[in-house]
Amino acid sequence: MSTNNINLDVAPQRPDEKESTFNNSFNFINIVSFVAYLGYNFSIEWQNWDKLSNKYDESWRINVSDDIESQVMRLEEVCNNIDYIFNAFIIVFVTSVLWSLSRFVCRQWLIFEQSIQPHHGCKWFLSLVVLAVLKQMQTASALFGVLLILPTSFMTCYSVISRYLCTIAISAFVFWFFLSMIITIISKPILNFRVRYTELSAVGKNVEVDSYTDKPKPEEV
């Protein structure tokens, strides 16, 4: 009884295809931080449920003065614990950047390994370092921007930020948008760097790099 063997020639994933603006900006640490701070706001409202509910009647319309008072109540709760929240923010900020950096290096480890080869020079490696720094700035700006617009942001406890909250928040997202465009533009030529061909190179040892190796054209028959 004969069996048919089917060989599937699957093209390797290009290094630039492994990168994603969304996954980098909203990584695991950032998502957990956003959800945790929303939960913290919910806990404040839950603890003050009786105080807040007594200020509203059954009408759909609100009393402006009462609504402002409820916002002040939440802000006071946050600002009373600002030292703990700020320390937690610093820890989250550093952890998020280090997490993003480690994930980037893991995804592109083979590319980093090839870039440090002496015959490739230092241009490729330095380009990868610059790309890594830009991606960490992307992660940090996304974290900073979203924390600015979350309900009762702890950053409004600082007068410099609270006075210009809208301007700073919009500037953060504009910076993130243009930075993401720059990263998208430069990622492809950096990660798909064309390696100089050598006859002694081991074909198939590094599929990602071998796919982008300049090879001599076959002789015409």
Segment 97-155, tens digit of pLDDT: 999 999 999 988 888 888 888 776 788 889 899 999 999 999 999 999 999 999 889 99
Read off the pTM: 0.75
160-211 pLDDT per residue, tens: 898 999 999 999 999 999 999 999 999 888 887 665 444 434 444 555 555 4
Structure tokens that stand for 118 in this block = 């002496």
Sign of the alpha-carbon dihedral angle for 138, 141, 143, 146:
negative
| 220 band by pLDDT with thresholds 50, 70 and 90 | very low
3-state helix, strand, coil in the chain (%, to 5): 70, 0, 30
> What is the per-residue DSSP string for 84-116?
HHHHHHHHHHHHHHHHHHHHHHHHTHHHHHHHT
Query: 5 — phi, psi (to 5°)?
Result: -95, 125
Dihedral sign (CA 212, 122, 138, 29): positive
Counting every residue written for the chain, the total comes to 221
